[in-house]
Chains A and B, each alone.
Chain A
Amino acid sequence: MSTLSREDVANLARLARIEMTPDELDHLATEMDVILTAVARVQEVATADVKPTSHPLPLRNVTRPDLVIPSLSSEAALSGAPAKEDGRFRVPQILGEES
């Protein structure tokens, strides 16, 4: 039961901003397909009366009160930034010239 194509993997890689070689795509397409097939088997076992589990903990409404606690200093916040300017994170151009 093949469900994941090479194109699917290429698209996922693009969405995740991961660069992949053609070899890696071939390899991963097969490998991820095996994983999906294995997971699909679990779905076969799950009958209509079994609720999908997104949270294994039997917890609800875990909240905190609306209280301010001290933040990082600007220096600490920026300490891992590859580039910074005027107390801000500096990032490369987002959109190119207008068409």
Chain B
Amino acid sequence: MQEVTEQKKEYVPTIVAFCCNWCSYAGADLAGSSRLTYPANVKIIRVPCSCRVNPMFVLKAFQRGADGVILCGCHPGDCHYVTGNYYTRRRMSLLFSFLNYMGIEKERTRVEWVSAAEGAKFSAVMNDFAKKINELGENKRLQDLRVKEERDE
């Protein structure tokens, strides 16, 4: 008799990383050219500046089933657009604090400052963030369940 063992597929979280074009995206490029690995479930979206990231994008990601959202920008004071990341800092501090107040685990959202020279930091940040999200598992709290149904069909 043959035992049928169905291997349960391990859940792979989805992580959306918004990176500003001038620092963090370049930092990610440097991580690449330095062959510094981080998990493949981290997917990067290029934006001109971290201040381009609308809270609606973050919510959209969670709605669509993202398990973690991270924003990366130039270090404060080094913004290519002079002041953009200062606004990001306030906006995301308030948004993330608010999401946590709504019951969303605070580890699911993060802002990191990564310069174009910090390939190693980029990789370290992504490894760490992915690890945290793995530990948290699937984000069910902010997901639009209909999206899941569509997907399962």
A, B from the same assembly: no
B-side residues, CB < 8 A to A, are none
